[in-house]
Structure 1
Amino acid sequence: MSRNLSGPRSPPLVIAVLAAILLILSVGSLGVGRYDIAFARVVQILLCAVFPPDVPVTPTEANVVFTVRLPRILLALLSGAGLALSGATLQGVFRNPLVGPQVMGVSSGAAFGGTLAILLSFSRAGLLASSFAFGLSALVLVYGLNGIVARRNILALVLAGVVVSGFFGALVSLLQYLADAEDKLPAMVFWLLGSLSTANWEKLSLVAGPVVIGGILLLGLRWRINLLSIGDEDARALGVRVEPLRWLILILVSAVVAAQVAVSGIVGWVGLIVPHMARMLVGSDHRVMMPTSLIIGALYLLVIDDLARTATGTEIPLGILTALIGTPVFVLVLWQTQRGNRGV
């Protein structure tokens, strides 16, 4: 089956429009919350050091924008962009539109590593390292199981991901059972639900390095991911060292996902459904699809987080909202894929 690597619309125009929308919504989100601030006033607050406004910025306004909301907005942008980029990368590497960080077991493995770190009272850096180690381990297990059973079988790959996710999910449950019900257990449960409510500049600095560096490297490899997406044999014929490249990509994806999980818990389905949105806009060429996925992912999680903190009096965990939206979309994608396979 041939792949169409050309997009239905002008990719530069689509990316420019999405970037403009992302910028506007990001600034607007700084004014959304229990202490509402008008859009124009938010702009004045952000630029007050360069262009002092006629009405001086109050300490309350500065604290709300710069201390409370700005790190949270930036964390939502980085997390959404990293998850979407990771999902687009995995789908290209495994030539399977039904995989993502959660389906492939990366999120579950990283969640176990983070839960173990909470149980053992690790530092933030230790939590990140533990999440990365077990996230990568989960991905290696899925890759190994698929190679043993049926390497070129899409269904076997998805089933391997389900098996590994179930295994690490059971380990997480075991750690919760062993945890102190007064101290460790509530922290584990709240963390696993996924939330940005505890965002601060320290957590942002923790996640920024792996996501930014890993994201830049993945974007730099996107033309090689194009070659992997057409098949290993064809990629080797074009001079690509397939196995080292694939392992490098898997390590980078694990680092990005582990960093997100370490600071905000499991936020599922973003890496699965956002790449499909990007393909609808710009086609399947990873050179433009991956940057588009990155922007849409940041935009998607930003909107979800705004909804989570404003829809009700108490904040709704991100993981709940993304699952409620992502689950039916995944079913739709699965149905369309099976229909396409019957038509081949």
Structure 2
Amino acid sequence: MFKRKIRDKIAEHEVSVTVLLIIPLIFLFFISFLLGRYPISPQDVIMAIASKLFFFNSTLSPTLNAILFQIRLPRILAAMMVGAALSVAGASFQGLFKNPLVSPDKLGVSAGAGFGAALAILFSASAIMIQFSAFIFGLIAVSLTYFIGRSFKGTSILTLVLCGIAIESLFAALLSLAKYVADPYGQLQTIVFWIMGSLAAVTNQQVLIISLPIIIGTTILLMIRWRINVISMGEEEAQTLGIDIKKLHAIIIICCTVITASAVSICGIIGWIGLVIPHVARMIVGPDHKALLPASIILGAFFLLLIDNVARTLTTVEIPLGILTAIIGAPFFLYLLMKSKEVWS
């Protein structure tokens, strides 16, 4: 009875913390519609959103509606989904590998996606085909890592990470080769800009395409998050509870790979989110993945949406997202490393 009361109090605390984290995200979601070179008043934003929610015709101009729902809305949604996807994948991988320094691209998905996008750019493919190629090659890279790692006897998580490093280096070399042979006055600039990360050209169609795999993969991770708690304590404890370790490892890797490949395919390579945000969430809600994964999703969505707002408003020329996340993420991670060692123990 006493233990049940404790569990109920912990659950109530997790819900209250999650609600408190959602409120700033909702506020930033609304503020993001106001930011941009075309000024829009808060009243117009409220009127436009209300007209879509309650199905009535507004008196707003077609230009304003186009800016809100064809330019800013897909960008806002994409930033939130990508940030949430990278964060929940990072938190899951850190639990799987029992290592706080693991990020979603550790098995080569980002390098593979980068090469896939570069290859599509070399063949002058459309934006959708570039996204599709990045997604497919991201999956190919992780598949190679997984099957090569499983070919060794007595395969461990460490072996899988080492194979991931090798595959990541291989696709990084192929990406360098693609840049070397690219047209320096057109294709090379496009490849470099894609690699640095941006949501400038995202469309509603692209957001719709990535939303399904991200939602499915994230939902599965949330459903099995208590099992991630078990395997993070060690394989022996998981086996005593009757958990199929190999099957669970495969499910987590597949979900995180699909999520990360979908995110990278639409915005390019954006680092540090999947590494730093789970640590911030861990400081707020603790190491329990039942609360850690939802908190990582909310904080990741908030962080990348904030970064994207800064990227498109700080200067007259848009700053690539990968640059800003590295400038902010690296020093902040070092700060966390020095001040919060006990949280990661």
- TM bucket (normalised to shorter chain) is 0.7 to 0.9
**Counterpart amino acid of residue 273 in structure 1:** V
Secondary structure in 2 matching 1:30: helix
In 2, Cα distance between equivalents of 1:201 and 1:231: 43
For 1:296, which of 296, 299, 305 is the aligned residue? 299
Q: CA deviation at 1:113?
A: 2.2
**Counterpart amino acid of residue 46 in structure 1:** I
Query: Could you say which residue in structure 2 is the equivalent of 1:268?
Result: 271
In 1, Cα distance between equivalents of 2:342 and 2:15: 29
In 2, Cα distance between equivalents of 1:9 and 1:170: 49
Pairing 1:239-250 to 2, within 5 Å after superposition:
239-250=242-253
Query: Could you say which residue in structure 2 is the equivalent of 1:329?
Result: 332
Query: Could you say which residue in structure 2 is the equivalent of 1:318?
Result: 321
In 2, Cα distance between equivalents of 1:61 and 1:241: 54
In 1, Cα distance between equivalents of 2:218 and 2:173: 30
The superposition leaves residues 32-78 of structure 1 with CA deviations (integer Å, 9 ceiling, x where unpaired) of 1111223333112211353869x831222212111110111011111
Would you say 1:194 and 2:224 are equivalent positions? no
Would you say 1:230 and 2:233 are equivalent positions? yes
TM-score, reference length from structure 2: 0.86
In 1, Cα distance between equivalents of 2:174 and 2:124: 17
Would you say 1:35 and 2:41 are equivalent positions? no
In 2, Cα distance between equivalents of 1:284 and 1:87: 13
Distance 1:9 1:272, change over 3 A: farther
Would you say 1:57 and 2:42 are equivalent positions? no
Q: Which runs of 5+ in 2 are unaligned?
A: 1-6
Would you say 1:179 and 2:182 are equivalent positions? yes
> Does the 8 Å CA contact 2:197/2:269 hold for their aligned counterparts?
yes
Would you say 1:306 and 2:316 are equivalent positions? no
> Does the 8 Å CA contact 1:91/1:98 hold for their aligned counterparts?
yes
**Counterpart amino acid of residue 113 in structure 2:** A
In 1, Cα distance between equivalents of 2:138 and 2:86: 13
**Counterpart amino acid of residue 116 in structure 1:** L
| Range that drifts further, 302-311 or 25-34 | 25-34
The superposition leaves residues 58-104 of structure 1 with CA deviations (integer Å, 9 ceiling, x where unpaired) of 22221211111011101111111111111011001111111012344
In 2, Cα distance between equivalents of 1:122 and 1:247: 33
In 2, Cα distance between equivalents of 1:76 and 1:284: 26
**Counterpart amino acid of residue 36 in structure 1:** P
Distance 1:234 1:14, change over 3 A: same
**Counterpart amino acid of residue 283 in structure 1:** G
Q: CA deviation at 1:148?
A: 7.9
Distance 1:105 1:9, change over 3 A: farther
Q: Which runs of 5+ in 1 are unaligned?
A: none
Secondary structure in 1 matching 2:51: coil
> Does the 8 Å CA contact 2:89/2:104 hold for their aligned counterparts?
yes
> Does the 8 Å CA contact 2:34/2:41 hold for their aligned counterparts?
yes
| Range that drifts further, 121-130 or 169-178 | 121-130
**Counterpart amino acid of residue 21 in structure 2:** L
The superposition leaves residues 196-219 of structure 1 with CA deviations (integer Å, 9 ceiling, x where unpaired) of 000111111121111111111111
TM-score, reference length from structure 1: 0.86
Aligned residues between the structures: 335
> Does the 8 Å CA contact 1:48/1:57 hold for their aligned counterparts?
no
Q: Percent identity?
A: 41
Distance 1:52 1:248, change over 3 A: closer
In 2, Cα distance between equivalents of 1:83 and 1:187: 23
Distance 1:52 1:138, change over 3 A: closer
Query: Could you say which residue in structure 2 is the equivalent of 1:169?
Result: 172
**Counterpart amino acid of residue 295 in structure 1:** I
In 2, Cα distance between equivalents of 1:12 and 1:222: 16
Q: CA deviation at 1:136?
A: 3.7
